Amino acid sequence: MKKLTFLLRFLLLIAVAPVNGQSALQQYPHYSESLYKGLPYGLFLPPDYNPAKSYPLVVYLHGSNDLESRDLLWYQAEMQKKYPAVVLTPKCKESNQGWGNTWTAQHTEATSKTLQLVDSLLARYSIDGRRLYLYGISMGGFGVFSILEKEPGKFAAAFSICGGSDARAGAKLVHTPLWIFHGADDDIVPVSLSRNVYQQIVNAGGKRARYTEYAGVKHNSWENALQEKELPQWLFDKRKPE
């Protein structure tokens, strides 16, 4: 157990995953930053946000120490025109604990606050509770598995990029649509941490998971995954049962 804990902390400390070098604050007037119980977060509202309409919510969990306000795919005009959505980007400074993992039983403090923040946004904005989506990169990918395991039914769909999970959690991940991405030559997070949990999901009878592995790609598999043309429609088509 001590060896496993050390490995996880090491991975979370070095697995930094930038998405785009430009700041969201510099580009989008509908993006703002604030604090929730001491947790920094960014919030993007659709440019034509209308309280009379209902919007999906996308929650992004960043990689270790990547606290910049990055320009995400979901903010861009073409994406918002086709899939208008509210986007939440909490920022976790707990590099030794991160967003949690499936080897531990409890949420980290940052993850607990993030989930509370999601509930507060549901009360404040016109967000469709049946269309809550989650994704994460590297340290955030570990967090995706952790949240889905500990909060079954909370999110309508999720995807993890270059993250990982204890394979034994697979039986608890069968109900949420999940797309797992990883580079075959990842030199920071072993690809087996995605491969094995996916196989366990399948073995447990899960039919809502997808797995994509990129040959010759190292840790930066987010560059491939976020170019997947099917991904936005796959994500936004999912809804929780009423």
Tokens matching residue 78: 């073409």
Q: CA dihedral defined by 234, 115, 124, 42, rounded to 10 degrees? A: -80
User: What's the pLDDT at 95?
Assistant: 59
Name the pTM for this structure.
0.92
User: What's the pLDDT at 6?
Assistant: 41
Please give, one letter per residue, the 3-state secondary structure of the chain: CHHHHHHHHHHHHHCCCCCCCCECCCCCCCEEEEEECCEEEEEECCCCCCCCCCEEEEEEECCCCCCCCECCHHHCHHHHHHCCCEEEEECCCCCCCCCCCCCCCCCCHHHHHHHHHHHHHHHHCCEEEEEEEEEEECHHHHHHHHHHHHCCCCCCEEEEECCCCCHHHHHHCCCCCEEEEEECCCCCCCCHHHHHHHHHHHHCCCCCEEEEEECCCCCCCHHHHCCCCCHHHHHHCCCCCC
Average pLDDT along the chain, 242 residues, taken 10 residues at a time: 48 48 72 95 96 98 89 95 98 81 96 97 98 97 98 97 97 96 97 98 96 98 97 98 82
Which amino acid makes up residue 226? L
d(CA 221, CA 242): 35
d(CA 111, CA 42): 15
d(CA 126, CA 43): 14
d(CA 163, CA 153): 21
Task: Report the relative pairing of strands 39-44 and 31-36 from DSSP bridges.
Answer: antiparallel
Cβ(233)–Cβ(190) under 8 Å? no
User: What's the pLDDT at 3?
Assistant: 44
31-236: CATH superfamily: Alpha/Beta hydrolase fold, catalytic domain (3.40.50.1820)
User: What's the pLDDT at 96?
Assistant: 58
